[in-house]
Amino acid sequence: MKENFREILPDSQIIKREEKFNLRWNIISEEDREKLRFRCVAVITNKLNEIKNSNYYFNSYNDYLNSLCVAISMIIGIPSKTNNFSSFESKYLYDYIMELDLKKDNNYITFIKFIEEILNYDYLGYIDNYNLAKKFAEAFKLSNVKMKIIKDNDEYCILPINTEFLDSPLVFDNLYWLNAYKDVKNHFEKSLKFERKENYYRNIVDELRLSLELLLKKMFSNEKSLENQKSNLGDYFKSNNISTSISNMYIKLFDYYTLYNNDNAKHDDKVNNVEIDYLIYLTGTFIRFIMQIEESKKEVK
């Protein structure tokens, strides 16, 4: 009935609203998940066949394609068979992946984890992992799947592109991106723990300020106080091709932010509980923008 309705009224407002809802809530349709599967499998097949058709020697004791599939099967926790195969299409792992019901979130996550492990496998120079990552990134875009691939040092990581306005990107996602800055993360995390407690408003503001201050100290390799980092921020934005308008907007808000801290928390205790959420989100915005700039340097495009 649902399929008939879509066929009869392809331009209906209900379907259009559903598409907007899915986009807003980062919901990937069953159709797009299937497109993603076939595109990703095609990428893998093509790349592995490049090895197979190269001068690399395969035999029954040292089949590179087989060892790849067995290793990844173990990593993602699915059964594997060790008998020899000549191409990816005939492999047990291929059959397993193709049988996964991607409508189920658990299976979908297993599939994405499989792709991530494919990206991080050591191909001994026979496959360029970065080029492989670019092919997967292209498959994500073509399939309308809101994910991106990040290369951090020598490790590839697949991440969702979140569309929720506040909670996820500005608060909880920051906790992931701040893993490389443990002290910064600890202070930001403390502010969230205090958030549910009464009469800890000054503590929250202090922890937020410390998290941002420590991040900028680490980014700019100095020991300046928060209010003395404005010129460094300006230079940083300029060197990363951030528009003058955005740079000036950030620094203007940053200026008021430091003034608020000095007047209401650092040298006094006049924090209004109504202001807490705004300060959490504002600090999250400051941090997230810097993390996005750093992230964009690593993103596979």
* Separation between Cα atoms, residue 69 and residue 91, nearest integer Å: 8
* Separation between Cα atoms, residue 205 and residue 207, nearest integer Å: 5
Range 131-159 average pLDDT = 88
Strand partners, 148: 159
CA 241 to chain centre: 22
CA angle 221, 223, 225 (to 5 degrees): 125
Under the banding of pLDDT at 50, 70 and 90, the label for residue 12 is low
Q: What is the pLDDT of residue 54?
A: 61
* Separation between Cα atoms, residue 90 and residue 262, nearest integer Å: 66
Torsion of CA 78, 83, 85, 90, to 10 degrees: -50
Strand partners, 125: none
- Token pair listed for 274: 């109504």
Mean of the per-residue pLDDT values for the chain?
80
Residue 165 has pLDDT above 50, yes or no: no
CA angle 108, 113, 117 (to 5 degrees): 150
- Token pair listed for 31: 């159709």
Closest CA to 278 of 186, 128, 166, 169: 166
Please tell me the least confidently modeled range out of 45-59, 66-80, 241-255, 262-276.
45-59
Under the banding of pLDDT at 50, 70 and 90, the label for residue 26 is low
Q: What is the pLDDT of residue 90?
A: 63
- Token pair listed for 212: 């941002």
Under the banding of pLDDT at 50, 70 and 90, the label for residue 185 is confident
* 209 half-sphere exposure, CB direction, 13 A CA radius: 22
SS3 215: helix
Residue 1 has pLDDT above 50, yes or no: no
Residue holding tokens 């492989």? 132
Instruction: List, for residues 189-237, the tens digit of each pLDDT value.
Output: 888 777 556 677 888 899 999 999 999 999 999 999 999 999 999 999 9
Using the Cα atoms of residue 39, residue 44, residue 45 and residue 51 in order, give the sign of their dihedral: positive
The b-or-e profile of 165-188 (16+ CB within 10 A means b, else e) is eeeebbbebbeebbeebeebbebb
Range 165-179 average pLDDT = 60
Residue 279 has pLDDT above 50, yes or no: yes
